[in-house]
Amino acid sequence: MRSMLSILLIFSGLNPKSYAQLPLVPRPSPPQLAWHETEFYLFFHFGPNTFTNLEWGHGTETEDLFNPTELDCDQWCRIAKQAGAKGVIITAKHHDGFCLWPSKFSQHTVRESKWRDGKGDVLQELAGAARRHGLKLGFYLSPWDRNHPQYGTPEYNEVYAQTLTELLTGYGELFEIWWDGANGEGPNGKRQVYDFHRFEKIAAQLQPNAVIFSDIGPGCRWAGNEQGRILTETNWGTLDTAGFHRGAGGPPTDTLNQGNVNGAHWIPAECDVSIRPGWFYHAEEDNKVKSSEQLFDIYLNSVGRGANLILNVPPDRRGKIHAQDSAALVAFGKKVRESLDDNLLRSGKTRVGISRNYTLPDPLMGNMVDGDRSTYESMQTRSAELPFVQFDFPRKLKFNTLVLREHIAAGQRVGAFKVEIKEGKAWREVSRSKTIGARRILSFPEVEARAIRVTMLQFKDIPGINEVELYRF
C-alpha cells in the first residue's frame, strides 16, 4: 500500500541551463545494476588447502587428500539465506590448480580423487543447491596454476580458455566471475603471460549477464583491502583503468577504495573479507570467527557505503559450514533484518509540504518511500538554493540512522550532503557525509524531531534519489 507520508521537495540550486553543458556521467549496464541489487553474498574457499591446513597450496598435493565426508551444499545455501546473502561464489580452482569439477583439461581434479569414487562434482552440487534456495551463483577461477605442466607457456592460455568455457557453459547462469591477478611460478619455474582480453571475450559471449571482478573490472573492482570496508566516506562507482592491469599493476589501493570522481568507466567496488583470519578452513581458528556485531559493522561500512560485500565462509573438512560460523551468520542476518526492516518514513500520516509555490503531485508522493528502486525523484533546480528533500512527521520520532539510495541507473552524481532536524522553527545539522551511490547508511547520535531535511551540497548533475529510509537501532 502506498505510504500516505507527505514529502516536501524543493528544487533549487544551479540554473537548469547549466546542466545541458555537463558531460554525461558513466552509467551501469543492466548486468551491473542487477549486481548492485545483489549487495551481499558469500564466498566459499574450498579445496585441498582445506585438508592440508594451507592458504596457498603447492600444486603437488595428492588428489586423494580431497575427501569431504559429509559434503552438504544445501546446508551452505540455507545458512547463506539466513544470513541475508543473495548469492554464493566458490573457488572452482585455486592457485594449487585442483579443479572441484572433473575438467577435461587437467589431471588434478575431483575425478582423480577417492571422493564420490571419482564421480563427484562440487560445482554441480552447489549449482543445484543455489537454484533450490533461490541464490545467484558465481565462480572464482584462479589464472595461476601451480600444477598444470603447461603453465608458463603460450599453450596455457588455450588451456585456461577451455577450462573457463567449461565453467561458463556447464552450470547455468552466473552473476559474477571472480578473477585476481595472481601470477606466481608454475611447475616449470616460469610465470604466465595471461591473455585476459581473450578470457573477457569468452566470458562476454558465454555469460553476458555475469559481472567480472578484478582490480580493473571491467564489471566491478577490488576495494583495495581485505577488511571488507570502504575506509572513507567517499566511494565513487567510477574508475580510470588506462595504464593499469590486474595484480601488481593495478591502481593504488586508495584509488580502488574510493574510485575516481570523474572516472571514465562504471566499475563499482566490491569489499571482500573472511569470517575467519584465514580464507580456507583451519580448526585452530574455530574460536576466532567474527561475531555478528563485527559482521554488522563491516556491513555498514561496505554495503552501507555503496559497495557490495562478499563474505568468505570456508567449509570444513566434512564439507559443511562449521557451527561457529553458522551461529555468527544467522545472528548477523537477524540483526540486519531487525535493524533495517522498519522504515519509519513508511508509517503514519502527515500533510503535504509546499514550498516556493511547488506542491509535490500526489502520484509522486511515495516515489522515495515506496520500496521500489525503479522509481525516483529528480531534484531539478529552480532557484539559487541547494536542492533538498524534507519529511514532516505527524508526531515526534526518535531515530539515529538515515539510508539513501541514489538513482544510479542514471549515474552517480552526489558528492556531499548534510542532514538536519527541525527544532522549533530552526534547523540543526546532525550529520553530513560524502557520496551516496547505490546505498548510503549514515548513523549519528539518536535524535528526536518532527521533521528531517537532507540537502545536497555537491553534485555533478541533477540529483536523483530512489529511496529515503529512517531507522532507530
Outline which parts of the chain fall under CATH 2.60.120.260: 7-25+344-471
Backbone angles phi, psi at 300, to 5 degrees: -65, -30
Indicate the pTM of the whole model. Answer: 0.93
Structural contact between residues 215 and 221, judged by C-beta atoms closer than 8 angstroms: yes
Point out which residues pair with 138 in neighbouring strands: 89, 176
Nearest residue to 100 via CA among 87, 78, 115: 115
Fold of 7-25+344-471: Jelly Rolls (2.60.120)
Give the SS3 label for residue 412.
Answer: coil
Outline which parts of the chain fall under CATH 3.20.20.80: 39-340
User: In the block, which residue shows the cell 616460469?
Assistant: 190
Give the SS3 label for residue 91.
Answer: strand
Angle at 54 between CA 49 and CA 60, to 5 degrees: 65
- For residue 1, how many other CB atoms are within 10 A of its CB? 6
Nearest residue to 285 via CA among 129, 53, 449: 53
What is the pLDDT at residue 390? 85
Distance CA 62, CA 19 (A): 63
Angle at 119 between CA 58 and CA 71, to 5 degrees: 70
Backbone angles phi, psi at 17, to 5 degrees: -65, -25
What is the pLDDT at residue 384? 64
One-letter amino acid at 166 equals E
Point out which residues pair with 233 in neighbouring strands: none
What is the pLDDT at residue 383? 62
Architecture of domain 39-340: Alpha-Beta Barrel (3.20)
Structural contact between residues 230 and 439, judged by C-beta atoms closer than 8 angstroms: no
Q: In the numeric block, which cell numbers belong to residue 49?
A: 588447502
Long-range Cβ contacts of 155-161 (<8 Å, 24+ apart) = 156/186, 156/192, 157/192, 157/193, 157/194, 157/195, 157/198, 159/105, 159/106, 160/194, 160/195, 160/199, 161/195, 161/198, 161/199, 161/202
What is the pLDDT at residue 347? 65
What's the average pLDDT block by block, 10 residues per block, for the chain (473 residues)? 36 37 78 98 98 97 97 98 98 98 98 98 98 98 97 97 98 97 92 96 98 97 98 98 92 97 97 98 98 98 98 98 98 97 73 37 60 82 74 90 96 96 94 98 96 91 89 95
